[in-house]
Chains A and B, each alone.
Chain A
Amino acid sequence: MAETPRTQFETAGHGRPRSWTPQQWGALIGGGALAIYGITRRSPLGIALAAGGGTLALLGARRKPSENNTATTSLLINTTPQEAYRFWRDFQNLPRFMNRLQNVTVLDNRRSRWTAAGPGGKPVTWEAEITEERENEMIAWRSLPGSDIEVDGRVEFQQAPAGRGTLIKVRLQFAPPFGTSGTIAKFLNKGASFVLRQDMRRLEALMEAGEIPTTAGQPHGRRDLVTGLMRAADPTRPLPRGTNLTDALAAGRRSA
């Protein structure tokens, strides 16, 4: 296949050049500057600033860049491998629990078109094809050349012992990293695996309970700003399209 070389699963996260992202440079420079400023103040506030800045710089410098591009998780679900495989194999089901995916259109038996919420809510589209599959066991797919982003995925379904259901293992690899909400998740030190795990927990609810638990739309008394802030900072929710901070806070309060 003639296409741009890309990192394969087996080597994901290993042997990559340790190039730094702008966020990391920002954390290092900003944190360092804050620390130096704090030290020169020689006051309690200065010490606090120095400590905070130093921590920020340290955290920024220590983050491994490769982690942001690969997400893995596994989950035990009370269903059969057959049912889980069937549900997943119909890629149109994926947006039902992957809340950054907006839409998947199946083009033919191997190819599909995916649309997700990208940075700032801007839609990102790519086409994917199935590269390998074994019925009731595993599916692997990769994005085709010419897509907005590269996303490779692999899911395995294993019968768990003693009637415990099915162990589902997922690996997603993507470049560049996913969008504004991804950035917020990173800010909270969650990363892509966290986001994927939330998606998989929704899949579990969907397969076991037939629905995803929610409180969106329930009544409540007068909210205050704290609620809006908490909703806006919730790393499990993608930011809606064209979001600015004011809208996000207002939407957070409404949906609470």
Chain B
Amino acid sequence: MKAVCYMGVHKMKVETVPDPTILNPRDAIVKITSTCICGSDLHLYNGLIPTMEQGDIMGHEFMGEVVEVGAGIKSDKLKVGDRVVVPFTIACGNCFFCKRQLWACCNNSNPNYWIAEQMMGYSPSGLFGYTHMLGGYAGGQAQYARVPFADVGPIKVPEGIPDEKLVFLSDIYPTGYFGAVNADIEPGDTVAVWGCGPVAQFAIRSAFMLGAERVIAIDRFDYRLRMAEAGGAETINYEEVDDVVQTLKEMTGNIGPDRCIDAVGMEAHDHGVMYMIDKAKQMARLETDRPIALRQAIQACRKGGTVSVPGVYAGFDDKIPMGAFMNKGLTMKTGQTPMMRYMKPLLEKVESGEFDPSFVMSHRVPIYQAPQMYKTFCDKQDNCTKVVMDPWADGAMAA
């Protein structure tokens, strides 16, 4: 089959690899109909998260049709022919964490848990198409994927709704929603959202769903800020203001935003000296992340407020303003999304027509264009917000 492989920093390649097979009783094989490039794939593309290896198959946002199930899958859970969206986290469904609905913390789905345990104390769940520290599972930017514990994760979706309205249920739509849920939004709240990428776009709209009065979105790309405005947000272009924290203060009558959502993560941009220092330290591997958005979120948040972090962080960060965090009595909530908690209710919103997530999609291309699309998405060219790929479109057929 054709698969997008990581062949080194800034080197993605569409390779011909063997088809996946059932390896464990609770596996299923899914024939993929749509697959996306996620912002978190760009951290891998830029070589900033350790334990990637040449030849790894990328991708954790995909959907398709079940073509084979293992002996351990009961037919009332999943059967051949089912149309499914596959969540990016892999969960066993029966450990301490899964029983407490913390599926993204599953204790049994990461075969390389010991590496994660060295770095984080404990291992989160395995992920598709990510680092070996998080399982090293072959991903979904391919024509087929093997899905472990397929009776827990994949959600069945009805025929008749096009892929682009459903495929974002695999990660970014629930992740944006979870970011807003974690912000503990109360009626009347002002919510500030750092970043206007796809996760942020869903967080903005989810914040309104959850009762926010105002949402202020912060980014530097006009086309992304316009998309945030279309969702009802006020916007700050941080390249046009001196100080984001001061601007937020002025916009909120010196109270500050009640809830702050960092939907940027480890590769934040800014102007000024601190940004240059972070960039240099990250290049020298003296810190893994550039936590600029997180620092601003902590500084800007009103006293007693909540900071929610759906943005991805990899390792170790410098100069987190812990004094501000402690003295202002803030709460921080974060985590990979417990997908199985949100996929069903969010699917219902799509089915009923209440919400259409397809607005984030800017590019729909055959999979053989993946290497260019990684570059386009990374460099924010061509007003790129979200790339959806078809693994079977012409040019990708020979496999």
Binding site for B on A (CB under 8 A): 76, 78, 164-165, 194, 198, 201, 204-205, 208-224, 226-227, 230, 235-236, 256
| Complex A-B: 30 CB contacts under 8 Å | A78-B94, A164-B96, A165-B96, A201-B114, A208-B94, A209-B109, A209-B149, A211-B24, A211-B72, A212-B111, A213-B92, A213-B109, A213-B110, A215-B135, A216-B23, A217-B21, A219-B57, A220-B5, A220-B17, A220-B56, A220-B138, A221-B6, A221-B7, A221-B57, A222-B15, A222-B54, A223-B55, A226-B53, A226-B54, A230-B53
4 closest residue pairs by CB, A with B: A221-B5, A209-B92, A221-B55, A205-B108
| Contact call B136/A215, Cβ cutoff below 8 A | yes
| Contact call A218/B146, Cβ cutoff below 8 A | yes
Q: Give which listed residue, B53, B57, B94, B111, contacts A214 with CB less than 8 A.
A: B111
CA distance A95 to B367 in the complex (A): 43
Interface residues on B, range: 35 or more
Could you say which residues of chain B place their CB within 8 Å of the CB of A212?
Answer: 24, 111
Q: Give which listed residue, B6, B25, B53, B138, contacts A210 with CB less than 8 A.
A: B25
| Contact call A210/B55, Cβ cutoff below 8 A | no
CA distance A236 to B108 in the complex (A): 16
CA distance A107 to B108 in the complex (A): 33
A-B contact count (CB 8 A): 114
| Distance in Å: Cβ of B87 to nearest Cβ of chain A | 16
Q: Give which listed residue, A78, A201, A217, A223, contacts B99 with CB less than 8 A.
A: A78
| Distance in Å: Cβ of A211 to nearest Cβ of chain B | 5
Could you say which residues of chain B place their CB within 8 Å of the CB of A165?
Answer: 96
Assess A209 versus B96: contact at CB under 8 Å? Given A220-B57, A221-B57: no
Chain A residue at minimum C-beta to C-beta distance from B54:
A224
Mark each residue of chain B from 1 to 43: 1 if its CB lies under 8 Å from any CB of chain A, else 0: 1010111000001010111110111100000000000000000
Chain A residue at minimum C-beta to C-beta distance from B14:
A221
Chain B residue at minimum C-beta to C-beta distance from A236:
B114
| Contact call A198/B57, Cβ cutoff below 8 A | no
Could you say which residues of chain B place their CB within 8 Å of the CB of A216?
Answer: 23
CA distance A194 to B252 in the complex (A): 53
| Contact call B138/A218, Cβ cutoff below 8 A | yes
Could you say which residues of chain B place their CB within 8 Å of the CB of A204?
Answer: 95, 107-108
Asked if B64 CB lies within 8 Å of chain A CBs, one says: no
| Contact call A215/B137, Cβ cutoff below 8 A | yes
Asked if B153 CB lies within 8 Å of chain A CBs, one says: no
Could you say which residues of chain A place their CB within 8 Å of the CB of B107?
Answer: 204-205, 208
Chain B residue at minimum C-beta to C-beta distance from A213:
B111
Could you say which residues of chain B place their CB within 8 Å of the CB of A218?
Answer: 20, 23, 137-138, 146
Asked if B148 CB lies within 8 Å of chain A CBs, one says: yes
CA distance A208 to B54 in the complex (A): 33
Chain A residue at minimum C-beta to C-beta distance from B13:
A221
| Contact call A215/B111, Cβ cutoff below 8 A | yes
Main secondary structure of the interface of A (DSSP, over half): loop
| Distance in Å: Cβ of B258 to nearest Cβ of chain A | 35
Asked if B374 CB lies within 8 Å of chain A CBs, one says: no
Asked if B45 CB lies within 8 Å of chain A CBs, one says: no
Asked if B174 CB lies within 8 Å of chain A CBs, one says: no
| Distance in Å: Cβ of A145 to nearest Cβ of chain B | 36
| Distance in Å: Cβ of B136 to nearest Cβ of chain A | 5
Asked if B62 CB lies within 8 Å of chain A CBs, one says: no
CA distance A211 to B151 in the complex (A): 13
Mark each residue of chain B from 56 to 97: 1 if its CB lies under 8 Å from any CB of chain A, else 0: 110000000000000010000000000000000010111110
CA distance A230 to B108 in the complex (A): 22
CA distance A101 to B314 in the complex (A): 36
CA distance A151 to B164 in the complex (A): 59
| Distance in Å: Cβ of A219 to nearest Cβ of chain B | 4
Q: Give which listed residue, A76, A194, A205, A217, contacts B92 with CB less than 8 A.
A: A205
Chain B residue at minimum C-beta to C-beta distance from A79:
B94
Assess A222 versus B96: contact at CB under 8 Å? Given A205-B108, A209-B108, A230-B53: no
Could you say which residues of chain A place their CB within 8 Å of the CB of B136?
Answer: 215
Chain A residue at minimum C-beta to C-beta distance from B144:
A219
Assess A214 versus B24: contact at CB under 8 Å? Given A201-B113, A205-B92, A256-B53: yes
Chain B residue at minimum C-beta to C-beta distance from A164:
B96
| Contact call A198/B114, Cβ cutoff below 8 A | yes
Assess A78 versus B53: contact at CB under 8 Å? Given A214-B24, A217-B23, A221-B5: no
Assess A215 versus B114: contact at CB under 8 Å? Given A209-B94, A221-B7, A221-B57: no
CA distance A216 to B111 in the complex (A): 10
CA distance A209 to B151 in the complex (A): 11
Could you say which residues of chain B place their CB within 8 Å of the CB of A220?
Answer: 5, 17, 55-57, 138
Asked if B391 CB lies within 8 Å of chain A CBs, one says: no
Asked if B126 CB lies within 8 Å of chain A CBs, one says: yes
Could you say which residues of chain A place their CB within 8 Å of the CB of B24?
Answer: 211-214
| Distance in Å: Cβ of A71 to nearest Cβ of chain B | 15
CA distance A76 to B100 in the complex (A): 15
| Contact call A222/B108, Cβ cutoff below 8 A | no
Could you say which residues of chain A place their CB within 8 Å of the CB of B17?
Answer: 219-221
Could you say which residues of chain A place their CB within 8 Å of the CB of B7?
Answer: 221-222
CA distance A213 to B109 in the complex (A): 6
| Contact call A227/B96, Cβ cutoff below 8 A | no
| Distance in Å: Cβ of A159 to nearest Cβ of chain B | 15
| Distance in Å: Cβ of A165 to nearest Cβ of chain B | 7
| Distance in Å: Cβ of B101 to nearest Cβ of chain A | 14
